[in-house]
Structure 1
């Protein structure tokens, strides 16, 4: 009996390690290349580890491009999108979860349908609208199309629906308005879901290349993926070391952020699935 349990655990662990290796290998290779010289990168022999750590690639990455500007743009865009997404998603989710009104099921069904529509379908109408408003090549062009998130509404709605209704009834008896209940009671209790949603949102928009390619042409407004594209095309050419160093700098904040918030991330996903 114990042998069977041990064997199953060993197989499961082996599969997990294999899957982790597949996922992490590209990141490890990127990190390894960022410390190698040009000659070492293009050697005919495969070397997983650099012969010596060459920090000059990182120095070149900052000297040959406005990498700090790209990172700043990414922070502004991601923070702006996340702020407005939460501002819109939480009240909508609270109403769908804890208020009874006509067409509530229909509206929630439309939210679920919205999850099936990829952004690429609406990209051209949004682009034309922003062009008419003369908002292209601005931070607004990078933020406005994403301020309403159906995924955020769904995730917050699931978390708030799992909360006891008596808690909100008691708050109403105490004289709190619906807005105050949503922000002072529901939002703190839904913080794990908010953390999970924040990770999804920031990672998605930090790594987004499709929309910045369409909405901006000014390199001073480029977020990190668009900035890396400028760096590759105009600055680095075939100088792979600095390019990989720049890629490591761009990816590092996302990895650190996830490691710091992984516990709340898992809690948020678990709570979000408790009640349909």
Structure 2
């Protein structure tokens, strides 16, 4: 029997629509500015629709700076970080979820404590260490500080703890090594959690400006947010049209990726990735 719509449902729907409007408005405004000619950007009125579509802004976004190179750098950095984070997080999470050893709870407690420490606290000593090793202005400086993710360990551990231990015991009886059990059985079963973690990781590091701004001065190594900063002109100010076009181009892959992975992402969260 179909349930009737109540006043509470209507209020909840209105609240969700208002919240969505608040979240989406900056993106709509960004797209609008990216398609406006320069003489329509700085006006008193607020008009989302330009009088004509200025596609030249998107051409300038690729010609005024090396945006294609920045996008490629973003793929290299985010891909490298995600690969190493997965390589470290999955075995650690499996051990914390399905192995019994002295200090296991203490180590898990340290993982939880690590979630409370923001990266900015450790940024200065990490920077000084990389400077001593002469690794500033390298891909290593952009990737190495993030190869171990306490959030990844926590997320995978919470998901793997829900997997039946009998499955792994049977694999041991069949002669599989612990490494084979982790990567051939546990990891494929944890793919929803892996998808959720990939979304979190790629989004965080693709959008990160703080760390690349510190360790990278070479334009050839700039990540997308760092590259967008090069649109800044000390004399003329920001070149807003191409700047917004570049922002749209940089944001589009994240939106497309999330839309493609949203079902698996939601299943990874709902299946226990963030529950005890």
Deviation at 1:175, TM superposition (A): 0.5
Which residue does the alignment assign to 2:131?
131
Which residue does the alignment assign to 1:142?
142
Please give the alpha-carbon distance, in whole angstroms, between the structure 2 residues aligned to 1:134 and 1:55: 42
Please give the alpha-carbon distance, in whole angstroms, between the structure 2 residues aligned to 1:275 and 1:54: 48
CA contact (8 A) 1:161 1:275 kept: no
Structure 1 gaps, min length 5: none
Deviation at 1:54, TM superposition (A): 1.5
Q: Does 1:83 align with 2:100?
A: no
Which residue does the alignment assign to 1:22?
22
CA deviations 1:223-260 (Å, max 9, x no partner) are 00100011224698343111100110010000000000
Q: Does 1:239 align with 2:230?
A: no
Alignment partner of 1:265: what SS? Answer: helix
1:183–1:11 Cα change, 3 Å? same
Query: What is the RMSD computed on CA atoms of the aligned residues?
Result: 1.6
Please give the alpha-carbon distance, in whole angstroms, between the structure 1 residues aligned to 2:271 and 2:86: 17
CA deviations 1:20-56 (Å, max 9, x no partner) are 0000000000000000001111122211111222111
Please give the alpha-carbon distance, in whole angstroms, between the structure 1 residues aligned to 2:153 and 2:233: 39
CA deviations 1:181-226 (Å, max 9, x no partner) are 0000000000000000000000000000110111111111000010
Which residue does the alignment assign to 1:163?
163
**What are the residue-to-residue correspondences of 1:171-250 with 2, within 5 Å?**
171-233=171-233, 237-250=237-250
Deviation at 1:5, TM superposition (A): 4.2
**TM-score (ref. length: structure 2):** 0.96
Deviation at 1:159, TM superposition (A): 0.7
Which residue does the alignment assign to 1:10?
10
Which residue does the alignment assign to 2:64?
64
CA contact (8 A) 1:137 1:221 kept: yes
Q: Does 1:34 align with 2:23?
A: no
Please give the alpha-carbon distance, in whole angstroms, between the structure 2 residues aligned to 1:27 and 1:210: 21
Alignment partner of 1:26: what SS? Answer: helix
Alignment partner of 1:135: what SS? Answer: coil
Deviation at 1:129, TM superposition (A): 0.7
CA contact (8 A) 1:196 1:266 kept: yes
Please give the alpha-carbon distance, in whole angstroms, between the structure 1 residues aligned to 2:106 and 2:122: 22
CA deviations 1:152-189 (Å, max 9, x no partner) are 00000011100011110110111000110000000000
Structure 2 gaps, min length 5: none
Alignment partner of 1:50: what SS? Answer: coil
Alignment partner of 2:101: what SS? Answer: coil
1:275–1:36 Cα change, 3 Å? closer
1:205–1:15 Cα change, 3 Å? same
